[in-house]
Structure 1
């Protein structure tokens, strides 16, 4: 099973996990990492890479982050490279939303590339004007 981790500005990571729990009706088994304003990639990435390595169940880790290019994303990218050097398959996707997360949870039995592709589709296919 693909491990899923959300790395986002505080309190978004925790809030998205709570949202997923509400929607699917049980613990989504997603790791949340809320990044505080004073954190930086150089200091935080080694710690996050250890969490990614620990989260891996043998099939890889999908890391979802909020704003591409922002601190949580930069930490995630650096940490994922460190985890990959340690032999853990890892993919980082930016722009996380609830639909992306739910899709990833529902299809996490597939391989990492398929879960990442499905998560991106879930994120974009649900964007629409509703009025």
Structure 2
């Protein structure tokens, strides 16, 4: 199984997990690391590193972060390793709801691409969607 770690500013990751579990039930092996101004960089690195070690059951770990260029992403990028750790930025609720659909034959990279594309696909401008329905 591919492990999943969410690293975000504040407790966004924890709240996304709560929301997803409210909708779908337990998400299984998923952890989050909250980052705020009270933690120093070395402590954050240690916390992320420990979470990755705990989650890695041999198929790697997907790290989902909130914002490319932000501290959670920048620190997470230092753990990237082909086939072992992949980082996807812009985490959203649809991504978490889709996590359970990992296919056993998917590589970490394939799973990361699948989750990224699903997250992007679920960003919509409501007025565009509604105008298409009105026409069709």
Aligning the two structures, in what range does the TM-score lie when normalised by the shorter sequence?
0.7 to 0.9
Residue 114 of structure 1 and its aligned partner are, at CA, apart by 1.5
Mapped to 2, the partners of 1:108 and 1:14 lie a distance apart of 25
Mapped to 2, the partners of 1:15 and 1:108 lie a distance apart of 26
How many residues align structurally? Answer: 126
Mapped to 2, the partners of 1:111 and 1:88 lie a distance apart of 8
Mapped to 2, the partners of 1:24 and 1:43 lie a distance apart of 32
Query: Any idea what SS the aligned residue of 1:21 has?
Result: helix
Query: Any idea what SS the aligned residue of 2:126 has?
Result: coil
Quick check: which has more Rg, 1 or 2? 2
| Structure 1, unaligned runs of 5 or more | none
Match of 1:101 in 2: 96
Query: Any idea what SS the aligned residue of 1:124 has?
Result: helix
Mapped to 2, the partners of 1:124 and 1:45 lie a distance apart of 28
Mapped to 2, the partners of 1:27 and 1:63 lie a distance apart of 15
Mapped to 1, the partners of 2:16 and 2:57 lie a distance apart of 22
Mapped to 2, the partners of 1:108 and 1:98 lie a distance apart of 20
Mapped to 1, the partners of 2:40 and 2:76 lie a distance apart of 11
Q: What TM-score does the superposition give when structure 1 sets the normalisation length?
A: 0.84
